[in-house]
Chains A and B, each alone.
Chain A
Amino acid sequence: MIEDIEITNFRCFDRLKVSGCKRINLISGKNNVGKTALLEAIFINNTPTKDTIISIGDLRRESSQVRSEFPAQIWDNLFWKQNLDPPCVFHTIFQDASFKTTEIFVRNEQDILTVINSNIPAELVNHYDEWLEKEKFKDGAEQSLGVIIINVNNQIFIKLIALSRNREVNLDTTYNKSVYLQNTSFIPSTLRASTVSLTQEFDRARLNEKDEEVLKAFQIIDSSIVAVESFSIPEPTIYLKRQGEKRLPLSLFGDAMNRIADIILKIINNQDSILLIDEIENGIHHSNQTAFWDFLYRLAEQLNVQIFATTHSLEMTEAFIKAGIDRQDSAAHFELTRHEKTNKIVAINRDLETLEYGITHHKEVRGGS
């Protein structure tokens, strides 16, 4: 499990340290203070691949047209104040004292050889030269190269991700991906999981005989639900059945049910993983929030899943305390806020007792003063 995170030169963070993570971590903060960026940093460090970089851009709704015209912008927008030097650095220390560092360098073509010669092993240099020869655009279009160096307890892996007009090429030829890739899921604040993908996930849970947990989760929101099933007519769809009523597709049950399905299925189907949830409270009525947290605490513990979730909601934070007060070793709260004097973003760790003290004494614990 992640214990400490240090982020340098990424998005809105010049340098941010987050210390004392536990199994369930709730992150509060004002708008634009970096809550989503923190989740992205964890995502990148855990799964440093081309797909992660591209998907982060998708979640931010970066224009694909702009991307194809100006591929470098994908990289530029990752860097603090778009300063490409120094590199973005993500450093994680785990509870067993092991560590992992991911550094992202970005260079235009002129600098590529310099970077390659100083950082890349010979076999990769040859591979890149071949690619450059074969794929280089003759119209002189700009390319941008991301060099990702991953250090897992001093075992080094190097990836090259070249982005060029209309092309996304991953030159990753590293081996032993299982050493540096950790199973990580990201649930964004507004993007709803598709009906097909949710149903596939439900079927996987059912195959592993864990579908009962999905039913229990739905019953937190609506205790009259007695069955959850999936059908493929006309397309894969989850159906819910209330006592004495006909089956209805999940999509008719509102955002909370869809969101809960997404969250619970990600946990159930990804044991020993990390789950990132942006704005966890979305759609969940305050009266159901404590029971929902209680469910998450139990399931995450059972399946060894570490959760990082962001929130704006005081009610969700209070429910987090209520559900976690007897599980203090499993819960941590972080307030992301700007220091009054330096304006730098800091992550303030509070245990649940301190968090409760702050709330009852009308202190601001969700960002700001």
Chain B
Amino acid sequence: MGRNILIVESNNDKYFFQSVIKHLDIDLEVAAPVFLDEDYRAMDGSDSTKLINALKDLKADIQKEDIERIGIILDVDRHSEAERIKFINDCIIKVFPKAITLDRANQFTDLNFEAYPIKLACYFTNVNGQGELETVLKVIKNQDSTYADCLDRWRECLVSNGKKITDKKFDKLWIVNYIRYDTATKDEQKHADRKLTLNYALENKSFIWNLDHPILAELKVFFRLFNNSSS
């Protein structure tokens, strides 16, 4: 059987999706993320170059490796699913001009690239139709999160002082606090640079996340498309 490759936006996306894939025992490799700099992740209309480069890179790999199916996962952010589908289709057509465009998420389409029978599907990370990875992580947390939750009061304090912080940045801070203070052991806190990272938490402490949370149901449907027994 050929290989299945997943394109994701950032290293944090990579670590999280790898955990879920492992949890489900699906045969799906996560490629090096499009954005190597964790702080810069903005796959929107102005950043199609990055996704196009990732697709061109994959096009090169297709010519030498036995690749069968490709998945793309982007944050839905504040866009609609239709807008995200259009964004992905615009990028796909630039690299694979004969591709059949996507109608919706969680459904394969053909890239029609020379004689290679490659299929592609996409999924948009969201909670109730909006948000990004950190939004999902907040929902599926599995331990007490007092330190992280108290950031809400800090945010209120900012607002009362005429400052603000975006939901995206706030959610990132929430995750950092959850990992560093709510769920870290003393030993882990002594090795902060190595052990207080999302990667470490996902690889070594999966119990702090509920990978069976209902919010992940649609994501699992997407991943199961890549099951080798699926068509």
Contact = CB atoms under 8 A, between A and B. Distances in A.
Contact of B57 (A341, A346, A363): A363
Interface stretch (B59-67, B103-111, B148-156): B59-67
Nearest to A365: B60
Interface in B8-63: 31-32, 36, 53-54, 56-57, 60-61, 63
A362 B63 contact: no
Chain B contact residues (Cβ within 8 angstroms of A): what range? Answer: 10 to 19
Contacts, number: 46
Contacts of B53: 353-354, 357
A339 interface: yes
A158 to B, nearest CB: 35
Interface of A, secondary structure class, is mixed
A358 B32 CA distance: 10
Contacts of B2: 341
Given A361-B32, A362-B32, A363-B32, A354 B64 contact: no
Given A354-B53, A357-B53, A361-B32, A340 B60 contact: no
A262 interface: no
A341 B115 CA distance: 14
Interface residues of A, number: 20
Contacts of A178: none
A369 B61 CA distance: 8
A351 B52 CA distance: 12
A339 B60 contact: no
Interface in A318-369: 335, 337-341, 346, 348, 350-351, 353-354, 357-358, 360-363, 365, 369
Interface of A: 335, 337-341, 346, 348, 350-351, 353-354, 357-358, 360-363, 365, 369
22 contacts: A335-B64, A339-B63, A339-B66, A341-B2, A346-B63, A346-B64, A348-B60, A348-B63, A350-B56, A350-B60, A353-B53, A353-B56, A354-B56, A354-B57, A354-B60, A357-B54, A357-B56, A358-B57, A358-B60, A360-B36, A362-B32, A365-B60
Given A350-B60, A365-B60, 12 more contacts: A335-B60, A339-B63, A339-B64, A340-B65, A341-B2, A348-B60, A353-B53, A354-B56, A354-B60, A358-B57, A361-B31, A363-B32
